[in-house]
């Protein structure tokens, strides 16, 4: 059966090997049996879901096999099988990474219970690993779309902070992608295995900011019915992202400054000192320097937060990225809408190129999502766009109009034409450096090679 879990049974005693194989097979699992540790280490192909491993074997014993299996497959559960007089050693082996141990003679009920628990543990570990990889892929630097000069500068700045623990401040209007950049930094940094805790300071009532960020002890104030760890504690070993940090209250700013200076905190109402192991990334759509001048934001806190500033450009300042963003969002929401738009009418692209985009990339994303849901056919037309898109800044459309002019005579702009023009511009901007082109287009090198072949651009080095 395709869904059967695979168990390896390893024992040099043929009678025990056959007995355990029978028990496990009868329970509905698929089994491969090995007569020695050397056979296991020489095996290739997909690993099993669990291993039942004899501790005492000639030549290559169970300890050596366990060490090598743990090195190759850290999440693979291994159950050691041992004689009664080897129990103390079996317990020691669990410290080397064994999931559990069983003693001979084998009790069938305990064997199947332990094996079932080990398989569940292994499945959970695999799922956690899969989700971590999915998150890392989703918020990789490649997930930030754009090849304009303004975005190339942003990419360069991001790459400079990945290998360090420096405190980063991200400035930019609402909707420019500050959270996406913060996540890209975290998931590509040395702290990627740790948590990413996102805090919207503007969404926390002023009276609760200190409690939410730094935690509180039971009874610290009315309604504090239990001890509550704060966001900083939950971010231990990872990154805390303080979005809209300019909205913090004066008392919250004072406490945050103290925490950043001392790298320790005390919960509200508590006396215990808690050491912090957290990287801080903050962001704001407000001008913090101006707030410092006005006396609404602490100058000393400003210098603690704005150590390495990254400024995200508004969409109106990088209009040449609009065709690429449109294609990206059309692909992103195709499954949600149950349709795949393959063409964009030139008038529709021109309208999006001339729109002011006060809501920046977020506004564009929302409009493309909505348009996919209401449109019909394989073409996105001007009529599909909501009223008010386009016409407010016609002079700013030159970067995208050239791409529109290269469309077909019918006035329809094929998405492949948009893609080709975007790649050509990226190649020119990067002087043919394919690594830089792939990074700035947000695609892998293999995908870029395939696109170059598809559009006949391989000769453009």
pTM: 0.60
Q: Report d(CA 305, CA 256) in Å as an integer.
A: 10
Q: Report d(CA 247, CA 230) in Å as an integer.
A: 18
Note the pLDDT of residue 132. Answer: 52
Note the pLDDT of residue 61. Answer: 87
Could you read off the pLDDT of 259-304 as tens digits, one per residue?
999 999 988 888 889 999 999 999 999 999 999 999 999 999 999 9
Contacts of 174 by beta carbon, 8 Å cutoff, 6+ apart: 285, 359, 360, 362
Could you read off the pLDDT of 325-360 as tens digits, one per residue?
998 888 888 876 677 787 888 899 999 998 999 999
**Model confidence at 442, in pLDDT bands (50, 70, 90)?**
low
Q: Which residues pair with 343 in a beta bridge?
A: 379, 414
**Model confidence at 53, in pLDDT bands (50, 70, 90)?**
very high
Q: Which of 276, 254, 24 is nearest to 167 (CA)?
A: 276
Task: Decide: 174 and 215 in contact? Cβ < 8 Å.
Answer: no
SS (H, E, C) 233-257: HHCCCCEEEEECHHHCCHHHHHHHH
Contacts of 4 by beta carbon, 8 Å cutoff, 6+ apart: 28, 29, 30
Note the pLDDT of residue 327. Answer: 87
Q: Say whether pLDDT at 2 is over 50.
A: no
**Residue 456: both structure tokens together:** 């006949």
**168 prior amide bond cis, ω within 30:** no
**Residue 137: both structure tokens together:** 């892929």
Could you read off the pLDDT of 398-428 as tens digits, one per residue?
444 444 443 444 444 455 666 677 788 778 7
Q: Say whether pLDDT at 131 is over 80.
A: no
Note the pLDDT of residue 48. Answer: 92
Q: Report d(CA 32, CA 233) in Å as an integer.
A: 46
Note the pLDDT of residue 175. Answer: 93
Mind listing the domains of the chain with CATH numbers? 6-136 (3.40.50.2300), 139-313 (3.40.50.300), 316-454 (1.10.8.60)
Could you read off the pLDDT of 375-401 as tens digits, one per residue?
777 888 888 898 888 544 433 334 444
Lowest-pLDDT range of 36-40, 142-146, 364-368:
142-146
Could you read off the pLDDT of 152-203 as tens digits, one per residue?
899 999 989 988 999 999 999 999 999 999 999 998 888 988 999 999 999 9
Note the pLDDT of residue 19. Answer: 94
First to last CA, the chain: 50
Note the pLDDT of residue 361. Answer: 94
Q: What string of DSSP letters covers 25-37?
A: HHTT-EEEEESSH
Q: What string of DSSP letters covers 332-394?
A: HTHHHHT----EEEHHHHHHHHHS--TTHHHHHHHHHHHHHHH--SSEE-GGGSPTT-S-S-G
Note the pLDDT of residue 10. Answer: 94
Count CB atoms within 10 A of the CB of residue 299. 13
Q: Say whether pLDDT at 37 is over 60.
A: yes
Average pLDDT score over residue span 301-314: 96
Residues 50, 56, 60, 66, CA torsion sign: positive
Note the pLDDT of residue 216. Answer: 86
Q: Say whether pLDDT at 440 is over 80.
A: no
Q: Say whether pLDDT at 444 is over 70.
A: no
3-state secondary structure of 61: coil
Note the pLDDT of residue 403. Answer: 40
Q: Which residue has the higher pLDDT, 105 or 136?
A: 105
Counting DSSP H helices and E strands in the chain, the numbers are 20, 15
- Considering the chain, what is the average pLDDT of its residues? 84
Q: Report d(CA 90, CA 244) in Å as an integer.
A: 54
Q: Report d(CA 345, CA 375) in Å as an integer.
A: 13
Task: Decide: 62 and 41 in contact? Cβ < 8 Å.
Answer: no
Contacts of 13 by beta carbon, 8 Å cutoff, 6+ apart: 54
Return the axis-axis angle of helices 346-354 and 398-405, rounded to nearest 10°. Answer: 180
């Amino acid at each position: 059966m395709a869904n059967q879990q695979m168990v390896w049974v390893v024992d040099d005693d043929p009678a025990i090997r056959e007995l355990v194989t029978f028990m496990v097979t009868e329970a509905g699992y698929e089994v491969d049996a090995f007569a020695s540790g050397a056979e296991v280490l020489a095996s290739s192909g997909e690993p099993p879901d669990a291993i039942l491993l004899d501790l005492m074997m000639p030549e290559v014993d169970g300890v050596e096999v366990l060490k090598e299996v743990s090195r190759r497959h850290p999440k693979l559960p291994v159950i050691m099988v041992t004689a009664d007089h080897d129990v103390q050693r079996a317990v020691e082996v669990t410290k080397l990474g064994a999931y559990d141990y069983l003693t001979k003679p084998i009790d069938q009920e305990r064997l199947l219970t332990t094996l079932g628990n080990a398989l569940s543990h292994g499945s959970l570990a695999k799922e956690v690993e899969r989700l971590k990889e999915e998150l890392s892929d989703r918020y990789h630097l490649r997930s930030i779309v754009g090849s304009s000069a303004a975005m190339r500068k942003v990419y360069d700045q991001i790459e400079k902070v990945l290998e360090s623990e420096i405190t980063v401040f991200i400035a930019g209007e609402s909707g420019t992608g500050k959270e996406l950049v913060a996540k890209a930094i975290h998931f590509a940094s040395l702290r990627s295995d740790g948590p990413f805790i996102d805090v919207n300071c503007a969404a926390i009532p002023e009276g609760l900011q200190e409690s939410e960020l730094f935690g509180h002890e039971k009874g610290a104030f009315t309604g504090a019915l239990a001890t509550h760890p704060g966001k900083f504690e939950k971010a231990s070993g990872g990154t805390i992202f303080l979005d809209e940090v300019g909205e913090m209250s004066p008392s919250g700013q004072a406490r945050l400054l103290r925490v950043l200076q001392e790298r320790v905190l005390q919960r509200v109402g508590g006396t215990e000192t808690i050491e912090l192991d957290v990287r801080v990334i903050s962001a704001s759509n407000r001008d913090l320097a101006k707030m410092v001048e006005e006396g609404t934001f602490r100058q000393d806190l400003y210098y603690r937060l704005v150590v390495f500033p990254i400024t995200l450009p508004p969409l109106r300042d990088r209009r040449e990225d609009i065709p690429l963003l449109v294609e990206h969002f059309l692909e992103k929401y195709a499954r949600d809408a149950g349709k795949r738009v393959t063409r964009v009418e030139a008038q529709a692209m021109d309208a999006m190129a001339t729109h002011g985009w006060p809501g920046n990339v977020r506004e564009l994303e929302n409009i493309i999502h909505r348009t996919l849901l209401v449109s019909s056919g394989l073409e996105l037309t001007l009529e599909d766009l909501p009223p008010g898109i386009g016409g407010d800044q016609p002079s700013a459309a030159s970067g995208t109009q050239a791409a529109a002019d290269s469309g077909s005579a019918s006035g329809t702009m094929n998405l492949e034409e948009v893609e080709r023009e975007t790649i050509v511009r990226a190649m020119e901007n990067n002087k043919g450096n394919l690594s830089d082109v792939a990074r700035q287009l947000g695609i892998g090198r293999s995908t870029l090679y395939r696109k170059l072949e598809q559009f006949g651009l391989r000769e453009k080095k």
